[in-house]
Amino acid sequence: MMTHTIRAGLAALNVLAMAGTAYANVTVYTAGPASLIEQLAAGFTEETGIKVDFFQATTGQVMARIEAEAANPAVDVLISASWDTATDFAERGWLLPYTSPNAATVPDFLKSDTAVAQGISALAIAWNPTSGTPKPAEWADLAKPEYEDLVNLPDPAQSGATFELVAALEAQSGWSLFEDLAANGAIVAGANAEALNPVLQGAKAAVFGAVDYISFNGQQKGESIEVVFPASGTVIAPRPAMILNWSKNQDEAKQFIDYMLSDAGQAIVAATNLMPARTDISANRPLISDLSILAIDAEAVYAGRENTLAAFGGIFGQ
Amino acid sequence: MSARSIQAVNPAVAFAALGLLVVVAVPFAFILLQAIFPELGRGSLAAPFSRLADTLGDVRLIRMTGNTILLGLGVVALSALIGVPLAVARALFRVPGAMLWDLLMLVPFMIPPYIATLGWIMTLQPRGYVHQLFGFNLAPFLLSVWGIIFVMTLNTFPVIYFAVSRTVEAIGSRYADVGRVFGASAWRAFWRITLPLATPGLAASLLLVFAMAIEEYGTPAALGRRAGFDVLVTGIDLRVSDWPIDLPGAAILSLVLVGLSFGAFLIQRWILTRRSYQTTTGKPQTIDKRPLGRWTLPVVLGFALVAMLATAVPLLAILATALSRTISGGLAVSNLGLDNFLAIFTDGVGALRALGNSLSLGVAAALFTGLLGALSAYAVVKSTFRGRNLLDVLTILPNALPGIVVAVGLILAWNQPWLPVTPYNTALILLLAYCCILLPQPVRYATAAFHQVGDNLEAAARVFGATPMTAFRRILLPLILPTLLASMLLVFAVATRELVASIIVAPVGMQTISTYIWRQFEQGSVGLGMAMAFVTILITTIFPLIVLSLLGKRGGLL
């Protein structure tokens, strides 16, 4: 009986193993959203016949996997949600220089020798109009008494874009805004989606620094949510795509980058409510040129990351 | 001489040792090596021990460790407070609707903790479901240490309920009746005889609950950060997911967690080996349950209250969210619809394939851990094999390893370039992860069961010429099978919904139920995620019931 069980178990394992075996030509590790990489992979395979195997998780989880795999890496193309990854990987000498012919209309600040943006998200105030609060226009509005106990902030330790927003606003006007927010009962509530959820149900009125495309997607589904870009400025989070220099499929990887930046690829990016990286692609949402962007000295900001997070944590009692 | 050579080739022990080596020792060894050699991931052994001092010297470590112990003890205490009285009532008395209560106590197992937590948040937060229906909210309670302990207890107390009710049922009233004959009161007989005899089941389940509580990630991550309550698991997760990734730091913190769990394990072992708990002697035993009399109503009310909190509220919250077209629309008739459920079946093949993947992995993990668990427990309790204490330690190690660390250990171990074949990047790596994480469950249950089986039964079989393997298969295995089967169903339920390790080690392009749900949440499609969760809970509840009825056992087995 036991040998029979073992045999049946092994047979089941074989079936499972077959189901998971990769026959792919190009392996892409990407930070969310899942629907974006699914569509890009399908479109790319249709156009080139090259199969895409992708692994999608948060930026942190993707990095953990790359770090653990370092002895025998599998990833060909990496798409992160934080430009900092591209800078850091370039410094470590892990990236293959490549400039796609399709990147001509990508603005210079969204590309380097070794990385190019796939799309861009921006941070905004996500506000629930049925919350019974006045519509906020500025970051500072959320520290007003009308929003007492009604504001969520994503955790800058878990969201790279939120960290840049905190650093940029702090560089501009010090910690007073965040001290006012904390005194007004604003709380730090996990990663981006976790911070938005209570606002949808109405437990909170607004997210300070919500990722815009998730809120736009909710709006399309009929959720009661509005996206406000403060006139004083916000930060953007370009999503760098890069080819790892250990890739054994460099030609296919380059073709994938080309497809991602093609008209068809950028249209898929725009359809997920991200801003396309190419300026000549239209989208049904405000674009970079419509937004006021806060200046940020990435090098200095990331050098002081630990201190910034510690000061932020101190203000919000973490 | 001849006795020795028979023991040396006892195939049960050999198989247990080999299985534990592959499933537990290999990934654990790599975690240990990672803690010692920070550059291990790159295949270098440079700068050994260089990360120990700063990681262990971190001032936050003491607070996180303290919080972890507080959380573990709190959940154990509250789980015992709820689980033990219900279990004793269920085991010794005729409780009206006993089968129904068993089923309702089984469901909390099937609700993934991160889903249950989200359900509670959406129920108790301002303008949550309770607020919409009854006009009040309990957010301050939920977002506190007590809220975390409360939510986690509702998920873990069934471990104690099922283990203790089964153990007490097996002991029956016979021993207590002897005490009564000699003049003890009913209470005294229970406290001095029945409860002490139930120690193996109770101690094993308390240990499991403690380990589950200190290892659980979803609930402390969702509620703890808002309550300013950091535990070791959230600290480990931050080190693994925050660039630059700190694998050595995470490995070192995991070893602290393993140390805590190991301490609890030593206490449990000390309790179990102090004396004999053998009550299964081969003598016939009548199972006669007594009527509850005037206690009927309070007991039934107690069962109803617990079932409502642990099963009804989370299930209703999940269903309400899954049936809502939009979250902001709230509980209005116009906002209700089956859109999310339809989306599961029309969403290409993604959702259905995720279901298929997780269910097959769950079945495979249950079969494998059940077999390995029974053999390991046998090797530890019944054999005289000299390395059995080492095997026992191996079975407890994964108990406290957070899923994310097991995942990293597996990648480090199985992604070595010199390996000719590797399970990495196939579904087998997920199976290895689930087996490693969940092996302690069958082992602990089977160990407790073996402690209650008299040695004379196996000895009798051997006297009549049975080989060790035959005695194991024909005598011991059938005696512990009910217990083992229950733990295998638990493995099935937990493996089909495991999230943290699945995200990291899932082969490229492969989705499981939990990664599918998680992706929906990440994209803000909470309703679709909840619909998938509801379907999963239905399947993982009904499937074991079908298995049990096919095997001709009744639900009371659990």
Tell me the CATH number at A223: 3.40.190.10
C-alpha to C-alpha distances, A242 to A81, B13, B206, B221, B330, nearest whole angstrom: 12, 51, 49, 31, 42
For A276: left if phi > 0, alpha if psi spans -120 to 50, otherwise beta; the answer is beta
Torsion angles phi and psi, residue A166, rounded to 5: -60, -45
Find the closest chain B residue to A317 by CA distance.
B228
Find the closest chain B residue to A15 by CA distance.
B427
Q: How far apart are CA B380 and CA B120, in angstroms?
A: 41
SS3 B459: helix
Partners of residue A56 in chain B, C-beta under 8 Å: 519
Asked if A56 and B519 come within 8 Å (Cβ–Cβ), the reply is yes
Give me the total of CB pairs closer than 8 Å, taking one residue from chain A and one from chain B: 202
Residues 6+ apart with CB under 8 A from B279: B170, B171, B175, B197, B452
C-alpha to C-alpha distances, B436 to A105, A297, B403, B431, nearest whole angstrom: 50, 45, 9, 8
Torsion angles phi and psi, residue A238, rounded to 5: -70, 145
Is 70 exceeded by the pLDDT of residue A151?
yes
Report the 3 state secondary structure along B395-414.
Answer: HHHHHHCCHHHHHHHHHHHH
Q: How far apart are CA B7 and CA A111, in angstroms?
A: 68
B298 against B188, higher pLDDT: B298
| Of A171-175, A295-299, B100-104, minimum mean pLDDT range | A295-299
Q: What pLDDT does residue B117 have?
A: 93
B351 against B400, higher pLDDT: B351
User: Terminus-to-terminus CA distance in chain A, angstroms?
Assistant: 56
Q: What pLDDT does residue A18 have?
A: 42
A12 within domain boundaries: no
Nearest to A193 among B325, B508, B521 (CB): B521
Q: What average pLDDT does chain B have?
A: 85
How many Cβ atoms are within 10 Å of B309's Cβ, its own excluded?
A: 16
Is 60 exceeded by the pLDDT of residue A2?
no
A213 labelled binding-site residue: yes
A14: enclosing H helix or E strand: helix A2-20
Q: What pLDDT does residue B422 have?
A: 87
B291: enclosing H helix or E strand: strand B290-291
Q: Can you name the residues that pair with A30 across neighbouring β-strands?
A: A56, A79
Nearest to B425 among A22, A190, A224 (CB): A22
Burial class (CB in 10 A: 0-12, 13-18, 19+), A46: exposed
pLDDT-derived band at A271 (thresholds 50, 70, 90) equals very high
Tokens representing residue B51 in the block = 């990360």
Interval B135-151: pLDDT, tens = 888 988 998 899 999 99
A8 within domain boundaries: no
Interval A66-78: pLDDT, tens = 988 888 899 999 9
Nearest to A68 among B357, B411, B519 (CB): B411
Both A137 and A198 in one domain: the answer is: yes
Q: How far apart are CA A77 and CA A252, in angstroms?
A: 10
Partners of residue A17 in chain B, C-beta under 8 Å: 423, 426-428
Q: What average pLDDT does chain A have?
A: 89
Q: Can you name the residues that pair with A57 across neighbouring β-strands?
A: A31
Burial class (CB in 10 A: 0-12, 13-18, 19+), B131: buried
- The reported pTM is 0.86
Please tell me the total number of residues recorded for chain A in this structure.
Answer: 318
pLDDT-derived band at B552 (thresholds 50, 70, 90) equals low
- Tell me, what DSSP letter sits at residue A206? E
A224 within domain boundaries: yes
Torsion angles phi and psi, residue B79, rounded to 5: -65, -40
pLDDT-derived band at B346 (thresholds 50, 70, 90) equals confident
Nearest to B507 among A9, A22, A189 (CB): A22
Is 90 exceeded by the pLDDT of residue A42?
yes
Asked if A225 and B328 come within 8 Å (Cβ–Cβ), the reply is yes
| Of B301-310, B510-519, B545-554, minimum mean pLDDT range | B545-554
The nearest CA of chain B is from the CA of A104 a distance in Å of 31
Q: How far apart are CA B136 and CA B128, in angstroms?
A: 9
Q: How far apart are CA A258 and CA A263, in angstroms?
A: 10
pLDDT-derived band at A205 (thresholds 50, 70, 90) equals very high
Q: What pLDDT does residue B199 have?
A: 85
Q: What pLDDT does residue B1 have?
A: 38
Is 60 exceeded by the pLDDT of residue B242?
yes
Both A23 and A116 in one domain: the answer is: yes
Q: Which of B339, B357, B522 is the best substitution to test chain A (most A C-beta atoms within 10 A)? A: B522
Q: How far apart are CA A25 and CA A250, in angstroms?
A: 10
CATH 1.10.260.40 for domain B15-39+55-274+297-557: no
Both A110 and A125 in one domain: the answer is: no
The nearest CA of chain A is from the CA of B129 a distance in Å of 9
Both A145 and A244 in one domain: the answer is: no
Interval B226-239: pLDDT, tens = 777 889 988 888 88
Q: Which of B326, B331, B336, B416 is the best substitution to test chain A (most A C-beta atoms within 10 A)? A: B326
Asked if A68 and B412 come within 8 Å (Cβ–Cβ), the reply is yes
Both A303 and A183 in one domain: the answer is: yes
Both A67 and A182 in one domain: the answer is: no
Is 50 exceeded by the pLDDT of residue A16?
no
Nearest to B245 among A67, A71, A198 (CB): A67
- Domain range for A46 is 18-120+237-283
Find the closest chain B residue to A204 by CA distance.
B126
What sections of A49-191 are H helices per DSSP? 59-68, 83-91, 160-173, 176-183
Asked if B327 and A223 come within 8 Å (Cβ–Cβ), the reply is yes
Both A203 and A82 in one domain: the answer is: no
Partners of residue A218 in chain B, C-beta under 8 Å: 326, 524
User: How many domains in chain A?
Assistant: 2
Q: What pLDDT does residue B6 have?
A: 45
pLDDT, average across residues B436-465: 83
Both A79 and A113 in one domain: the answer is: yes
Asked if B524 and A15 come within 8 Å (Cβ–Cβ), the reply is no
Interval B473-514: pLDDT, tens = 788 888 888 778 878 888 998 899 888 889 888 888 888 999
Of all residues in chain A, the percent with pLDDT exceeding 90 is: 68
Asked if B128 and A24 come within 8 Å (Cβ–Cβ), the reply is no
B548 against B252, higher pLDDT: B252
Find the closest chain A residue to B331 by CA distance.
A201
A91 within domain boundaries: yes
B35 against B453, higher pLDDT: B35
DSSP string, B362-381: HHHHHHHHHHHHHHHHHHHH
Asked if A13 and B364 come within 8 Å (Cβ–Cβ), the reply is yes
DSSP string, B247-281: HHHHHHHHHHHHHHHHHHHHHHHHHHHSS----B-
Asked if A22 and B427 come within 8 Å (Cβ–Cβ), the reply is no
Q: Which of B114, B226, B499 is the best substitution to test chain A (most A C-beta atoms within 10 A)? A: B226
Is 60 exceeded by the pLDDT of residue A19?
no
Q: Which of A4, A5, A16, A89 is the best substitution to test chain B (most B C-beta atoms within 10 A)? A: A16
ipTM exceeding cut-off 0.90 for this assembly: no
Both A241 and A262 in one domain: the answer is: yes
The nearest CA of chain A is from the CA of B295 a distance in Å of 42
Both A145 and A230 in one domain: the answer is: yes
B363 against B486, higher pLDDT: B363
A138 within domain boundaries: yes
The nearest CA of chain B is from the CA of A35 a distance in Å of 9
How many Cβ atoms are within 10 Å of B16's Cβ, its own excluded?
A: 28
Answer positive or negative: Cα dihedral of A179, A180, A185, A190: negative
Q: Which of A79, A89, A201 is the best substitution to test chain B (most B C-beta atoms within 10 A)? A: A201
Both A114 and A151 in one domain: the answer is: no
Find the closest chain A residue to B241 by CA distance.
A60
Q: β-strand A77-79 against A226-228: which pairing, if any?
A: unpaired
Interval A154-176: pLDDT, tens = 988 888 889 989 999 999 889 99
Asked if B519 and A6 come within 8 Å (Cβ–Cβ), the reply is no
Partners of residue A152 in chain B, C-beta under 8 Å: none
Find the closest chain B residue to A73 by CA distance.
B415
Tokens representing residue B309 in the block = 């909190």
Find the closest chain B residue to A80 by CA distance.
B243
Both A129 and A223 in one domain: the answer is: yes
